[in-house]
């Protein structure tokens, strides 16, 4: 579990995060949604420790990040898996070498042990025979699965995903969503997903926070988001005619 209390972050005179408080629950897919410029990416980078916040706190299982020693911060980072928006695979490494990279950084495993672990996670993401391929030989969906395998190879307690469906076709995006949710349950991870994709919200939005101009404008679940009268949220969610029809169908189904 990650608990955020009254978080503030500024860049010069620009106040980006304006006192956000929320809880990201263990074993659930926690989504951060909102329009571009709402503060989603800044919040995610604060959670990762890439940005230093000026006010408030971030606690991992009761451990306040800003109070940790450098060694403790390093140990915490070893418990974190990250799926980047563009997959961020190393072009000069094979798929197996990409997945093995965190093991080389954070563990004292033998090469044989690392190979076994790489085999296990590649099998879990349905890439059994992809070890020797280069990223350039992989489709967008395959690259994303490699990124997920690399993110979970260290058995992380926390999984962060930045726009994991970016650039994917709708069918592949659903596969990636479902894979992330399955892994979250299997590993009992605290998963935080930064997204603007309403398909992801409908598929895997167990807990959701909606940001608007650096503030938490709403929070709830995928079921609640169809029921809310919060105009800021409904303007975002139902900006297309398709989503308006989906909402009406959902309401009629629940009556």
The whole-number pLDDT of residue 227 equals: 79
Residue 205 has pLDDT above 90, yes or no: no
Quick one: 116 and 214 in the same domain?
A: no
Quick one: 137 and 209 in the same domain?
A: no
Residue range of the domain that includes 142: 93-155
- Closest by CA to 126, choosing from 75, 47, 179, 174, is 179
* Tokens 């990250």 found at: 82
The whole-number pLDDT of residue 35 equals: 84
Quick one: 62 and 101 in the same domain?
A: no
Residue 8 has pLDDT above 70, yes or no: yes
CATH at 5 = 3.40.50.300
Residue 231 lies in a domain: no
Q: What is the mean pLDDT of the chain?
A: 89
The whole-number pLDDT of residue 246 equals: 63
How many domains does the structure of the chain reveal?
2
The whole-number pLDDT of residue 14 equals: 93
Residue 59 has pLDDT above 90, yes or no: yes
- Mind listing the pLDDT tens digit for each residue in 210-249? 999 999 999 998 888 877 888 888 777 776 555 666 666 6
Quick one: 151 and 38 in the same domain?
A: no
Tell whether pTM > 0.85: yes
Residue 49 lies in a domain: yes
The whole-number pLDDT of residue 241 equals: 55
Quick one: 1 and 75 in the same domain?
A: yes
- Mind listing the pLDDT tens digit for each residue in 85-94? 877 899 999 9
For the segment 66-77, the average pLDDT, to the nearest whole number, is 89
- Mind listing the pLDDT tens digit for each residue in 107-160? 889 999 999 999 999 999 999 889 999 999 999 899 999 999 999 999 999 999
Q: Is the distance from CB of 113 to CB of 104 less than 8 angstroms?
A: no
Quick one: 38 and 163 in the same domain?
A: yes
């Amino acid at each position: 579990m990650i608990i955020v209390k009254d978080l503030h972050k500024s860049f010069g005179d620009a106040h980006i995060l304006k006192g956000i408080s929320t809880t990201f629950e263990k074993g659930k897919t926690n989504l951060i949604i909102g329009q571009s410029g709402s503060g989603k990416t800044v919040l995610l980078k604060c959670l990762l420790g890439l940005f230093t916040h000026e006010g408030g706190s971030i606690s991992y299982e009761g451990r306040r990040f800003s109070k940790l020693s450098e060694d403790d911060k390093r140990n915490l980072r070893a418990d974190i898996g990250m799926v980047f928006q563009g997959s961020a695979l190393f072009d000069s490494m094979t798929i197996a070498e990409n997945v093995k990279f965190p093991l080389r950084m954070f563990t004292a495993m033998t090469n044989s042990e690392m190979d076994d672990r790489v085999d296990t996670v590649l099998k879990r993401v349905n890439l059994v025979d992809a070890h020797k391929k280069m990223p350039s030989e992989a489709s967008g969906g395959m690259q994303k699965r490699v990124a997920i395998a690399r993110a979970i190879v260290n058995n992380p307690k926390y999984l962060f995903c930045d726009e994991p469906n970016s650039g994917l076709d709708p069918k592949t995006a659903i596969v990636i969503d479902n894979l992330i949710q399955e892994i979250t349950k299997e590993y009992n991870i605290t998963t935080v997903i930064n997204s603007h994709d309403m398909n992801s919200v409908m598929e895997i939005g167990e807990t959701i926070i909606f940001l608007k101009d650096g503030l938490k404008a709403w929070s709830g679940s995928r079921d609640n988001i169809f029921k809310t009268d919060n105009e800021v949220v409904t303007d975002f969610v139902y900006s297309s005619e398709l989503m308006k029809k989906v909402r009406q169908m959902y309401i009629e189904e629940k009556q």
